Structures are given as structure tokens and as C-alpha cells.
Structure 1
């Protein structure tokens, strides 16, 4: 093995510290995201309190789903789909929460399939 000069040692030290830092950040965010329900409870709490479209679903004019009868068109099967249908009628808090989760999902999808570090 050849002896390492000072510049090679610094580059190696920098590369190892960067890799350890990204590894630690990825593992920490995975642990927090998978084992801490508070990350999901708080946005759900905000949605329940701040969004008028979720308070009384019987009075909300949801867009009808294809192939359903008129009696079943009041509430969609998924509340988030209903919020996405009525994006312009949602409050600012709801738009921020939905935008955050949609962008996190889309960035994760694009970066993960390209083998880039994403959690």
C-alpha cells in the first residue's frame, strides 16, 4: 500500500464524514417517520380543526365519483381525494399540509428511483 500524503488524507476524511452524516440523517428520518406518529397526528389535528370542508361532509359539494349513484355522491371514499378535488376551496393551512406531503412524495419517488439519497 502506498503512503497517503496530507491532501489525500483530508479528502478521505471529508468523504467519510460526509457519508456518515448522510447515513445518520437518513436513518434518523426513517426512525422518526416510521416510529413517531406525532409527525402524522399534528397535520391531521390541524386538518380537522382548520379545514371547514372536513367538518360537515354532508353539506360539502364533493365532485361525484364515476359510476356511483346520486345518493352516494355526497362524500368521496377518501377525504384527501375530496380535498384535492376542491383545492381552490381549501384553507391555506390545508393547502400547505397537502402541498408538503405531495412534494415529499414526488421528490422521494424521483430521487429514490435515481439512486439519490432520500428517505
Structure 2
């Protein structure tokens, strides 16, 4: 069928290699994301270390000073939602981490629903 046309063979070879590379990247990303907790430990460590809104008397290893805590500290059921509600008062590190994970989630949602390769 394509014996005489060298350009079509090259296009087919390129398409197959792109598909294989895409599948390998998706599988590797899923394996690393689901089996390695270090990917999630590091941002969690940064959030607990850098964000004063997440500090409570139970999580701070030293004797807290009154200026270390915000004036109204309420126990929230979901600390991520608490951070999102108080976006303007969060530290820049917290904004970057939350922005990264929210962007990753939103892009994954949009691209996966349209049958595009995204992990």
C-alpha cells in the first residue's frame, strides 16, 4: 500500500513513536503520582512550615508568641478550603503551591474530558 511513498512511511513512524512516548509518559506519571508520597510530602511540609494560618498550638513545637498567630484562629474541617477562603492573607509559598495543584487539577479535568492525553 505505502511501498512507494517514503514520506507517508515517515509520517506513520513519527505518529506511532509520538503515541508510544505519550502513553509511556502517562503511565510513568500515574505510577509516580500514586506510588510515591514524597511528591505530596514536600508541598505539605512547606505549607506547614511557611503558612501561619495552618499553625495551631498542637502543631507548633516551640512556645508560641502571641504575634505568631492571626487574631482569629478557628478550627476548620478542611484546611485547604480555609486557605482558599483566605487567599489574600496567605504567604507567597502557599499561593504558589495551591496555584500549582489547582491548575494541574483544572487542566487535567478539561483535557481528560476532551480525550486529550493528560495525567
- Give CA-to-partner distance per residue, 1:38-96, whole Å, 9 cap, x none: 0000000000101111112795436xxxxxxxxxxx21111111101110010000000
3-state secondary structure, aligned to 1:80? helix
Which one is further off, 4-13 or 99-108? 4-13
Q: Which structure 1 residue ranges, 4+ long, deviate > 6 Å from structure 2?
A: none
Bigger relative contact order, structure 1 or 2, given CA contacts below 8 A and separation 6+? Answer: 2
Distance 2:83 2:57 in 1: 11
Residue ranges of structure 2 left out of the alignment (5+ in a row): 59-68
Structure 2 Cα separation of the partners of residues 57 and 46 of structure 1: 18
Q: 1:4 to 1:19 in 2, by over 3 A?
A: farther
Indicate conservation of the 8 Å contact 2:2/2:9, yes or no: no
Tell whether the 8 Å contact from 1:50 to 1:93 is kept in structure 2 after alignment: yes
Q: How many residues align?
A: 108
Calculate the aligned-residue CA RMSD, in Å. Answer: 1.8
What's the TM-score once normalised by structure 2's chain length?
0.83
Aligned in 2, Cα 1:33/1:7: closer, same or farther, shift over 3 Å? same
Q: Secondary structure at the match of 2:24?
A: helix
The unaligned stretches of length 5 or more in structure 1 are: 63-73
For the residue of structure 2 that corresponds to 1:77, the secondary structure is coil
- Partner residue in 2 for 1:65: none
